[in-house]
Structure 1
Amino acid sequence: MSGIPVASPVYTLGDWQGNVVDEYGCVWVVETEEGWSGGPPVAAVVEDREAGDGAWTAPGSFKARVITLSGQCLAPSQTAMVAAKDRFAAAGDPYDLQDLVVEELHLTRKAAVRLTDRPDPTDKGSRAFTWTMTLTAGDPRRYAVEPTIVTTGLPASTAGRTFPRTYPRSYPQVSGSPGRVTVVQEGTYQMCPAVITIRGPVIAPEVVHVQSGRRLGFGLTIGWDEELIIDLGAGTALLNGSTSRVGDMAPGAAWFLLAPGINSLRFRGRPGTVPAGMEPPPLASMEVVAYSAWV
């Protein structure tokens, strides 16, 4: 159950929320925040020059994002305060990733986090306590809550067709012109992952990132009832979600990530075959699922 906001931003981690009055009448106020509103730490590559002034620098990288929230909780009774402490202690999880959702005045974004330090509540009288929560996002990006989803078919085989169809599988609604889609990244992160799903029948499928010129092709045939799931961030390509086909990458194939702004992707390949008598025949398609991401 969502609480009633008392300040901005509102933080949500599982059933716990900060800067709200929760369903039990407890007021959770976030007084300090570190690690969310600014950029993540940087792993810099800097080496002093042996002769002369200055240093040699090389491209660095962003490190994990560590987020520390602290504040106070005021409960309507001592019993409610004790129960609130129990709920707070159970909010974070060191085992599994959870989404920390931050609803700010201009954007609502999320990060996948784990609890990396013990929750630390300290009593302040009979109805209040202070608290601290430390979370770590291994992926330092702050993502949009809702994804961008676009689909297209092969340029030579999808004109005049309308998705979805069932054969007996469901195919997504095609968006954009056949063989090409545009993904707009509204964030500021220079390298944004995406998941591309290619559904057969298609021979030697290829995805081209127009802006970078990189091509990601595979020397394989995807059957009419199969799909190849390509995770650009993880660098994996799984046939039907289980069998790795990275080894089938075509010569010259190169991984790519999405950049801020407009990303044009082209879908190429040769139409595959379908069982005789199947009308209308299923058509190959490419679906792209991406989340805008911020530093």
Structure 2
Amino acid sequence: MPTRVIWPTYTIGTWAANVDDDLGCRWVVEKQTLNDGIGRKTHTSERPFGMGAYRSRSYPAARTGLIQGYCQAPDRASRVTARDRLMSLFPAGGQALLVVDDGVAPRQLLVELDSDVLKCDVWKTGEGIDWQLPLIATDPRWLDTTMQVAGPFTVGGVVADGLDWGSGGLDWANGGLDWGSSGNGGVLSLTNPGSAPTWPVFTVVGPLVNPALTNPVTGDVIAYTGTVEAGQTLVIDTSPFTRSVALNGVDRSGLLASAQWIEIPPGGQVTVQFSGAGAGTVTASWRYAYN
């Protein structure tokens, strides 16, 4: 079990830095640039007969940066094993989750090796290495390690607040104002105090026919034309980086009649109305996001 020596700790799989690992090797980060700002993708064209240039909206680029430091090993054998562990972080050219924990607000980033070489220079004494990890995150947002959850909420939950004129109403002899019973009415309130947009995952459990999720402010609708049987689960991931629609793990994106994806803006809130025919439920899950 790694033992922290300083904040923050950096973890990718079974490897960690700013710790003493199970081999007795001390991994220390001396520099990292992943917390720098994100570059922008700008689109401009020169005005041929006037000052300046025409532009279109710019967007954040991928996040690139490096983590570098040293590893001091108790002996040469441990140094060899430590180097092998470092070099095996991305064995098949895939992505891995980097978690940075500063003891206050741990955050994560899905990273892979950038085009530069993963450097590992052995000390002349043979009992340590200087290393450098060049990384790129195609989703440039830092995500909170805590998953936010709203629900499960049912379709058409009871909302009868107000004057009940049909079963008492202004009957002062039997209770006066009958406000009825209150429920969520299938309404989800999703907040994001972060500095970057985030996108929820909606999990719908049947039985339900033609479930839909609507942002009543913008009118955006995610509408599924099909049946979610009792015991089945429909998962709608709205993130542009992992977007998918799956019923019991099988792709059903072709059954979307409307795909107006719902975003939770930075520092904001969005309300989502859940509807459909049946007695199904919906749960929303998302992470706060930061630049």
Same fold (TM over 0.5): yes
Shift of 1:122: 0.8
RMSD of aligned alpha carbons: 2.2
What does residue range 191-230 of structure 1 map to in structure 2 within 5 Å? Answer: 192-230=198-236
Say if 2:236 is the partner of 1:236: no
Shift of 1:157: 6.7
3-state SS in 1 of match to 2:133: strand
Shift of 1:102: 0.6
8 A contact 1:120–1:131 mirrored in 2: yes
Q: Give the partner amino acid of 1:15.
A: T
3-state SS in 2 of match to 1:249: strand
Give a deviation string over 1:164-185, Cα, whole Å, max 9, x none.
xxxxxxxxxxxx8231122221
Give a deviation string over 1:95-151, Cα, whole Å, max 9, x none.
332110011253111111222344211122322221111222221111111211111
Say if 2:137 is the partner of 1:137: yes
Match of 1:287 among 271, 283, 288: 283
Shift of 1:288: 0.8
Match of 1:75 among 61, 68, 73: 73
What does residue range 2-81 of structure 1 map to in structure 2 within 5 Å? Answer: 3-34=2-33, 36-81=34-79
Match of 2:195 among 188, 197, 203: 188
Name the CA distance, whole Å, in 2 between partners of 1:26 and 1:235. 40
- Equivalent residue number for residue 154 of structure 1: 155
Shift of 1:267: 0.6
- Equivalent residue number for residue 172 of structure 1: none
Give a deviation string over 1:201-241, Cα, whole Å, max 9, x none.
22221111244331212232322232221110144322222
Match of 1:264 among 257, 260, 271: 271
Name the CA distance, whole Å, in 2 between partners of 1:10 and 1:75. 18
Give a deviation string over 1:16-39, Cα, whole Å, max 9, x none.
1111122222111111112x2123
Name the CA distance, whole Å, in 1 between partners of 2:159 and 2:231. 17
- TM-score, length of structure 1 as denominator length: 0.81
Shift of 1:243: 3.5
3-state SS in 1 of match to 2:30: strand
3-state SS in 1 of match to 2:108: strand
Q: Give the partner amino acid of 1:98.
A: A
Q: Give the partner amino acid of 1:153.
A: T
Shift of 1:41: 2.3
3-state SS in 2 of match to 1:121: strand
Change in CA separation of 1:93 and 1:189 when aligned onto 2, cut-off 3 Å? farther
Name the CA distance, whole Å, in 2 between partners of 1:148 and 1:185. 10
8 A contact 2:157–2:184 mirrored in 1: no
8 A contact 2:244–2:251 mirrored in 1: no
Structure 1, unpaired ranges of 5+: 160-175, 272-282
Shift of 1:156: 4.3
3-state SS in 1 of match to 2:119: coil
Q: Give the partner amino acid of 2:84.
A: D
- Equivalent residue number for residue 122 of structure 1: 121
Larger Rg: 2
Shift of 1:158: 10
Moved over 6 A (4+): none
Name the CA distance, whole Å, in 2 between partners of 1:129 and 1:248. 53
3-state SS in 2 of match to 1:87: helix
Change in CA separation of 1:115 and 1:220 when aligned onto 2, cut-off 3 Å? same
Name the CA distance, whole Å, in 1 between partners of 2:57 and 2:20. 45
Shift of 1:44: 1.0
Q: How many correspondences in the alignment?
A: 263
Q: Give the partner amino acid of 2:149.
A: I
- TM-score, length of structure 2 as denominator length: 0.82
Q: Give the partner amino acid of 2:233.
A: E
Give a deviation string over 1:253-282, Cα, whole Å, max 9, x none.
5222221232221111222xxxxxxxxxxx
Change in CA separation of 1:59 and 1:14 when aligned onto 2, cut-off 3 Å? same
